[in-house]
Structures are given as C-alpha cells and as structure tokens.
C-alpha cells in the first residue's frame, strides 16, 4: 500500500500530521567552545561532550565550558571515562557541595555516592519520570551518573526538557499554572520513618520554575515525588497533575541515551526529568551517582 503525502491526509479537524507546538530555541546557534567538543543530540536537549579526560583535574576554562554546556543543553554525556569513586566525587564538587541521600546509604566510605544496582534478585529501575529528590526544601542542582556494569542490550535512559514542555503549552495553560504551588513528599516512596533520625522530607515548590542561570521557565512537578497541587480538591489536583505528566511524555521533548560501561550522564535537575528503561531484567545494570547541591530555592519569575 502506497503511503499518501502528509498534506493529502490533513482534512478538516483531523490534522494528525501537524505539530501542535514549536520548540522555542531550536533555531539559535550553538555557542563556541575552545577546550571541548559539543555535539547536540536532539533539538530539545542533550549533547555529547568529547575532548576531556575526567581522570585529570579540570582547568578553569574547561570547567566553565562544561558548566555552560550543561546549562545550554540541560543534559550532557561523556564516553570512556574510567574514573574512580573519588574522581567521580571530585568532578561533582567542582560544581558545588555534594548531596547525601537522606534515606539510601552509599558504599562504605562514600556516603555521597548513590549506587543503583539491578540484577536477577534486585530490580531497581527508576522507570517513572522524575527529577531527583524534589522533596528537599532546596532541591539539588544536578546529578552525575556513571555506568559501572551494563546488560548486553537495553537499559537506556530517557531525558525530558521541562523548558520544552512548558513552551509546548498554550498561553492559557501557562497563565493558569503560573500561580500554583505543589507539595513534594518522600514518605510515600521510601516508607514511614524507622526512627527520629530517619528523615522523610517534604516541601512545597512552585509548579513553574525559572532557571536561575538561563532564565527559561520549566514545569516543576513529577510523577514520583509530587503529591498534590496546593489549595485544590483532590480530584482537581489529580486532573491537573495527570495532564502535566501526560504532556511531559511527548517524544519531541526527549533525548534517549544508550549507555556503555564508563559512560557518564550529567543532567540539570532544575530543567529536566528522566527515567530509566526497565527492559533488561534479569541482566545486571550497576550505576553510581553523585548529586550536586544547590543554593537556589525554586522560584517562578514571569518573563
């Protein structure tokens, strides 16, 4: 059967081939870099960085260019970085103090490292869209994840741009969301506290968030940690959140990363969400993550 050209299918209101939005920054030129190479992977977000060895101390210019590439691309990727746990932490500390997870302990001697391990007995996949630990009063800047062991196939991670998701909304939706706040919790994910030192933080943040460096607006609710829209009845809150979660799944907002051992992904939690693809069980997948703290309390500043 011959496929008809798209324009012959667009009749009446059944415009199934027409994009409903345009990404705001797809036409802008890429910034110039002198010490690294940056290859954009999708129009919405994501770039692969080459020309740097993270086993070596970063010079100030290289650090600044990696920092700028992160803000501009929202998630950046590195290949063939056989770094130790100490080198992993050293790289993270160039961007800020490291976070210690309030619930999940790190490997012995490395409380700043969160190990995410899956095999035939333990299946940890983080397969729902989320931004890391948004239940903190001051959520983190970003996370740096390295692959230590990978399955023969599968185990990719998808990332979504919350800037692109916001820009894909109608003006009326943007206006409606601009005054809303949402609660983010941890107890419903990690269980009730076992003792007084076993913290289960929760926080209230604006539904829309302005990035402190780029100035772009993004959606700041996620399906794992966000529990409700403040001031709404439960059904109203659920309807708004369900719409946003469905909207975030739009493929044009995404980039998908295929891991190899010693690959690294560094994502900006202020502007992205991510999810792991749980398609590799019972094979082994072991990842280690450091998370960089931030001093930026989420806020919304109308453009």
- For the question of residue 132 being annotated catalytic, the response is yes
Distance CA 4, CA 281 (A): 40
CB–CB of 78/54 below 8 Å? yes
CA distances from 277 to 17, 210, 255, 298 (A): 27, 29, 13, 28
289 is an active site residue:
yes
DSSP β-ladder status, 75-78 and 47-50: parallel
130 is catalytic: yes
299 is catalytic: no
Q: From the candidates 130, 205, 209, 254, which is the catalytic residue? A: 130
CB 287 within 8 A of CB 145: yes
CB 241 within 8 A of CB 188: no
Tokens matching residue 293: 């703290």
Q: Which of 88, 270, 274, 275 is catalytic?
A: 274
How far is the CA of 70 from the CAs of 31, 140, 240, in angstroms?
Answer: 12, 14, 30
C-alpha closest to that of 257 among 267, 268, 245, 247: 267
Q: Are 151 and 286 in contact (CB under 8 A)?
A: no
Active site residues: 130, 132, 274, 289
């Amino acid at each position: 059967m011959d496929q008809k050209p798209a324009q012959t299918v667009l009749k009446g209101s059944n415009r199934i081939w027409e994009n409903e939005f345009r990404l705001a920054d797809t036409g802008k030129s890429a910034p110039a870099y002198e010490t690294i190479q940056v290859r954009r992977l999708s129009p919405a977000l994501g770039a692969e960085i080459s020309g740097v060895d993270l086993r070596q101390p970063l010079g100030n210019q290289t650090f600044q260019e990696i920092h700028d590439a992160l803000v501009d691309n929202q998630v950046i990727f590195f290949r063939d970085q056989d770094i130790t746990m100490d080198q992993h932490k050293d790289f993270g500390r160039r961007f800020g103090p490291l976070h210690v997870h309030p619930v999940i302990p790190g490997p012995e001697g490395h409380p700043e490292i969160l190990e995410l391990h899956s095999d035939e007995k333990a299946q940890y996949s983080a397969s729902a869209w989320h931004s890391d630990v948004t239940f903190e009063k001051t959520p983190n800047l970003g996370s740096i994840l390295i692959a230590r062991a990978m399955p023969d196939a599968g185990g990719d991670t998808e990332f979504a741009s919350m800037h692109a998701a916001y820009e894909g909304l109608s003006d009326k939706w943007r206006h409606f969301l601009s005054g809303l706040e949402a609660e983010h919790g941890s107890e419903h994910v990690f269980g009730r506290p076992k003792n007084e030192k076993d913290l289960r933080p929760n926080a209230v943040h604006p539904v829309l968030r302005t990035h402190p460096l780029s100035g772009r607006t993004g959606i700041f609710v996620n399906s794992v940690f966000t529990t409700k829209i403040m001031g709404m009845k439960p059904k109203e809150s659920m309807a708004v959140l369900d719409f946003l979660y469905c909207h975030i799944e739009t493929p044009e907002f995404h980039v998908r990363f295929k891991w190899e051992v010693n690959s690294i992904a560094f994502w900006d939690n202020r502007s992205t969400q991510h999810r792991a693809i749980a398609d590799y069980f019972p094979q082994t997948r072991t990842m280690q993550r450091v998370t960089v703290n931030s001093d930026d309390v989420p806020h919304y500043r109308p453009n």
